[in-house]
Amino acid sequence: STELMKGKRGLIMGLANDKSIAWGIAKACADAGAELAFSYQGEALKKRVVPLADQLGSDIVLECDVADQPSIDALFAALEEKWGKLDFIVHAIGFSDKNELRGRYVDTSPENFRMTMDISVYSFTAVARRAADLMTDGGSMLTLTYYGAEQVMPHYNVMGVAKAALEASVRYLAEDLGKDGIRVNSISAGPIKTLAASGIGDFRYILKWNELNSPLRRNVSIGDVGNSALYLLSDLGSGVTGETHHVDAGYHVVGMKAVDAPDI
């Protein structure tokens, strides 16, 4: 626990349960002294999110479905009323029809393509615009991406295309908002067993592959992602914007793993 985030107020979007990447990030920020607000999607998640927020000393828990623009407006109106200003936001939201997170990318339907792009890509831009209005002393924005944006990963399909667009939007947002002292970055997390990940075909195999082939020879935890998020969200990251920061045990640097017993 540090004083790194003392006096800073941030909104965490995308907390579903204590396996969520958003939870790892929220805990790291709260440990460092940040004051937090949470948004959740739909009544069913409220009963999970309220006690988790409470554990971190937060009683600001607001509903927001990012597919619905008026719902985003209402969230930021409520935050403006509560806090007036905002220092950081975390966008840990993605969605696609799980029937299309298996099989071939070429079979993606136009309806699911549009929905995936809307919820997983455009929502970050929509949120950034409203959050920027409240970041009157500058700020930091963070979203979550995956290596499937850069290279073809099994079953990631339309989500890979969406994450590529999300990473590009981080760069454009960084340029637009940089003049106001607002930084915009993403963390490219290695595979982690969460609710969203369980929709991806052969996920257990992907986890095992990453563990065996990454330089650190392990998978990352939501705690690992939380630590790196703290750097990007706090003043430690003051010179960093537009970046895709990999928190993946180094997996993305490996072209081919060395054979441990080199007598082939």
Q: Is 49 among the annotated ligand-binding positions? A: no
Does position 92 interact with ligand NAD (CB under 6 A)? The reply is: yes
Q: Which residue out of 40, 122, 147, 156 is catalytically annotated?
A: 156
Residue position matching structure tokens 């075909």: 201
DSSP string, the chain: --STTTT-EEEEE---STTSHHHHHHHHHHHTT-EEEEEESSHHHHHHHHHHHHHTT---EEE--TT-HHHHHHHHHHHHHHHS---EEEE------GGGSSS-GGG--HHHHHHHHIIIIIHHHHHHHHHHHH-BTBEEEEEEE-GGGTS--TTTHHHHHHHHHHHHHHHHHHHHHHTTTEEEEEEEEPP---TTGGGSTTHHHHHHHHHHHSTTSS---HHHHHHHHHHHHSGGGTT--S-EEEESTTGGG-SSPPPSS---
Residues 189, 225: Cα–Cα separation, whole Å:
7
Whether 147 is catalytic: no
Q: Is 195 among the annotated ligand-binding positions? A: yes
* 32 vs 166, beta carbon nearer ligand NAD: 166
- Asked if residues 164 and 146 have their Cβ atoms less than 8 Å apart, the reply is no
* 117 vs 138, beta carbon nearer ligand NAD: 117
Q: Is 65 among the annotated ligand-binding positions? A: yes
Residues 231, 55: Cα–Cα separation, whole Å:
22
Q: What is the closest distance, in whole angstroms, from the C-beta atom of residue 243 to ligand NAD in the complex?
A: 15
Q: What is the closest distance, in whole angstroms, from the C-beta atom of residue 165 to ligand NAD in the complex?
A: 13
Contact with ligand NAD (CB under 6 A) among 89, 192, 229, 232:
192
Q: Is 201 among the annotated ligand-binding positions? A: no
Select from 51-59, 73-81, 87-95, 129-137 the region that touches ligand NAD (CB under 6 A): 87-95
* 171 vs 252, beta carbon nearer ligand NAD: 252
* 192 vs 229, beta carbon nearer ligand NAD: 192
Q: Is 198 among the annotated ligand-binding positions? A: no
Whether 146 is catalytic: yes
Contact with ligand NAD (CB under 6 A) among 66, 89, 174, 184:
66
Site for ligand NAD in 102-121 (CB under 6 A): 119
Q: Which residue out of 40, 146, 147, 251 is catalytically annotated?
A: 146
Which residues are known binding-site members for NAD(+)? 14, 20-21, 41, 65-66, 93, 163, 192-196
Which positions are catalytic?
146, 156
Residue numbers of the site for ligand NAD (CB under 6 A)? 14-16, 20-22, 41, 45, 64-67, 92-95, 119, 144-146, 189, 191-192, 194-197
